[in-house]
Every structure is written in structure tokens, then in C-alpha cells.
Structure 1
Amino acid sequence: MSAWLRDETPTSPDRSELRERRADIFALLRDEGRHHTAQVTTPGAEWLASATGHPRSTRSLWEDRPAAPAVLPCGTAFDIVNTPAVFGRRMLDRLWEEGPGSGPVAVHRGRMLLFTTPGTAHRLPSLLRWEEFGDAVPPLLCHGAGDAVTIPPLTPRSAEGPRWVVAPDTRRPWLPGPEVLLWACVRAVRTARAADVRVSIFPPGDQGAKVYDVSRRR
């Protein structure tokens, strides 16, 4: 992780907490075939409900219907960056392998929803326009003030529907800001390009070819 990213995220989780959560998220990512699903804790549900204008009634509704998805407004407790699933997975890998980790993350209808600090939806697109690799980032849907999104149920109904990858587990979860998301986008693009180059140098079945890691040249 670069020095500027550490400086820009003074409220990142402490090292012990980050190591523990990193182990949890890698267990999920490595074993997706078994459909592991993170579940929202009570403090996490309170945080989600705080995004609404009526948190008490929202919590009461969830107590009666914990397996029902909910529609929550963005712009107060969080913004959401909505990415294609594969690119979002690459961003998540980079955030947990090299960066400060992530906030809550969900999967819904083939898209990945990354929960971010309020204001990220407004700032991230402009940052990407100025970034050298910005044109290589697939279209992102940034949901901020005035938008609402459907989140997975607190208690998952099935492994095939909307689900949490990193579920809210605290009343005040750490959330990445626009600079951190920009960093993750750039790293995801570089990782994808390096993988494409390695495949072209060492095509499947060509056991005699030598693999060259050219990612450091970019």
C-alpha cells in the first residue's frame, strides 16, 4: 500500500482488527463455490437502519421479516459504488491484499455493491476522468444523495440471491472514501492487464514457454 493511501485513511481499522477481518474475507473469496454468506449482526443492522428517516420502524420491520431485502437511501450513512461482479472482485482483492480493507460489500443481480463514505458517489467519477487508467475502468454506477438501493436481507434466504460478502458487523463501520476507491480501480485495471499479458506469453497447454511477470513494467 502506498504512503499516500495510508495518510489519506487515518480512520482505517487498527492492525489487529484488519488482520482478523482479512482472514475472514479471504476465507469467503477462496471458497465461493460453497456459497458462504456473511450475516449482518445486530449493531450492523442498527447502522443500516440509521440511513433511513425512521430507524426504529425499519428495525421493527426487519425483526418481523429478516429474510426480506430492503431498499435504503444513500447519501447519509453511506454511498454505494456499484461495479460489474468480476471487476468488483478484483477491487476487493486489491483492497484486502494491499490496502486498508473494505467496508460492507454485497452482491446483487450480478453486480457488486461497495459501501463507501457519503460523498464518494459525487467525487469518484471526476477523479476517474483525471486518472490515466480511468478509461479502462468499466462503467460504475455511483449511488449518492437522492438515490436508493436494494440491499440483501439480513438473514440470507438462499445462496443464489442477493447476499453479503462483507456484512455490516458494527454500529460505526469503517468505509473507504473516493481516493481509496480510485486506488482500488487503478490496481484492479493493472492486475487485469498484467494477467492478460501473462496469458499471451504463456498460452494454455504451452508447457515449454517461460512466464514473465511484466506487471512491474507498468
Structure 2
Amino acid sequence: MDIWTYQSVEHVTVAGEAWLASASEYPRSMRALWESRPWAPSVLPCGRAFDVISMPALFGRRVLDELWASGPGCGPVAAVRARTLLFVQPGAAPRLRRLLAWEEWARDVPPLLCHGKGDTVTVPPLQRPAGGPDTPGHGPGRWIVAPESREPWLPGASVVLWACVRAAREPVDAR
């Protein structure tokens, strides 16, 4: 399956919305905000329901292709300001940061921003704005793979590490 077939995600499901809201300290308030403004991006804390690995958009595409090619696929993925945001298991961000610093392959992987407990991230709107431009690097962002359940599968640090290593080492012209 090619991850890029998901580029036309128009909205987050009700179950996916509940999962996103569970990251907030005040989930009911978050859902009330989204009910009144489903087209607005939101800021959510990491560390409770998910961590987020932010990577340059082009490298992110290669990592996602690796995750799908190697079998496990991925959980929710967003594109915000020319970055790919990969939602991962809580606790995976600091572990991935340590693994990349420790292992010899870190020099092959572009710098990743690992957002974990104590960090926040901007997530795209629950619904695409009607008629608004939604090009990569502009606007409020978009869901590439929107959350669809209350418990989406989220990759761990080792799964993301190996996808990053394979993506970094594969020649660009091989795609």
C-alpha cells in the first residue's frame, strides 16, 4: 500500500477525535472547541496519548514509505509547515533521541525533532477548510493518515529507527 494514497483525508473520525482529545488535560473542553471550530489547528501536549517525531517533509515521505514497505505501516501522520509529523508510542521520542545519539547510523539520518512529555505540537484541523489552499508548507496543515480509532496503532522507537536508517541509506534515485 502506498501511504500517499491517503493525501485526500478530509476529516478525522469521531473515534479519532476522541483519541486526540485524550492527549489534553481537559478532553471535554478540547472536543467543545473542535465542535465550534473544526477547521482550526490545535495545540496538544505529547507524552500522554502519543509522542511525535517531526522530520523534513521529503525525508518523512521516505520514512513512511519504509514503514509501509516493511509491513507494520504507521499510525496517524500529519503534514504541517513542510514537516512530516509521525505519531508514535508515548515514551518513544526520548528513546529514539537516545538511540540516534548512541548508534553509528545517526550521521546518516537528518536531524529529527522528537517531541515527548513536556512538549506540545500543533495538529492539523479535524476537517479541511472548505475552499482553502492546502499545499505542503502552507496553511494549517493536513492529515496524511488521520486518526480513525480510539486506540490507533503507534510505532515504537525501534520501528521508527530502522525505517529512518533504511530511508537515509537508500539512494534517492531508487524511488
Segments ≥4 residues shifted beyond 4 Å: none
Matched, 1:186 2:158: no
Q: Summarize the alignment of residues 129-144 of structure 1 with structure 2, pairs less than 5 Å apart.
A: 129-144=101-116
| 1:11-38, Cα deviation, whole Å (9 max, x unpaired) | xxxxxxxxxxx46x3423xxx6xxx235
Letter in 2 for 1:175: L
Q: 2:156 — aligned with what?
A: 177
Matched, 1:89 2:61: yes
Q: Give the Cα separation in 1 of the matches to 2:25 and 2:70.
A: 36
1:132 Cα offset (Å): 2.9
Q: Tell me the SS of whatever aligns to 1:133.
A: helix
Within the candidate set 18, 29, 41, 1:46 is matched to 18
| 1:162-181, Cα deviation, whole Å (9 max, x unpaired) | 00000000000000000001
Q: Give the Cα separation in 2 of the matches to 1:195 and 1:56.
A: 45
Within the candidate set 91, 109, 113, 2:85 is matched to 113
Q: 1:57 — aligned with what?
A: 29
Instruction: Report if aligned partners of 2:51, 2:91 keep a CA contact under 8 Å in 1.
Output: yes
Greater relative CO (CA pairs within 8 A, separation 6+): 2
Structure 1 vs Structure 2 CA RMSD: 1.5
1:140 Cα offset (Å): 0.5
Q: Give the Cα separation in 1 of the matches to 2:72 and 2:10.
A: 19
Q: 1:195 to 1:147 in 2, by over 3 A?
A: closer
Q: 1:67 to 1:148 in 2, by over 3 A?
A: same
Q: Give the Cα separation in 2 of the matches to 1:38 and 1:134.
A: 36
1:129 Cα offset (Å): 2.2
Instruction: Report if aligned partners of 2:4, 2:144 keep a CA contact under 8 Å in 1.
Output: no
Identity %: 58
Matched, 1:102 2:74: yes
Q: 1:80 — aligned with what?
A: 52
Structure with higher Rg: it is 1
Q: How many residues align?
A: 167
Instruction: Report if aligned partners of 1:38, 1:165 keep a CA contact under 8 Å in 2.
Output: no
Q: 1:38 to 1:123 in 2, by over 3 A?
A: farther
1:86 Cα offset (Å): 0.5
Q: 1:4 — aligned with what?
A: none
Q: Tell me the SS of whatever aligns to 2:104.
A: coil
TM-score between the two structures when normalised by the length of structure 1: 0.73
TM-score between the two structures when normalised by the length of structure 2: 0.90
Q: 1:195 to 1:85 in 2, by over 3 A?
A: closer
Instruction: Report if aligned partners of 2:17, 2:126 keep a CA contact under 8 Å in 1.
Output: yes
Q: Give the Cα separation in 2 of the matches to 1:140 and 1:195.
A: 18
Q: Tell me the SS of whatever aligns to 2:12.
A: coil
- Structure 2 unmatched runs, 5+: none
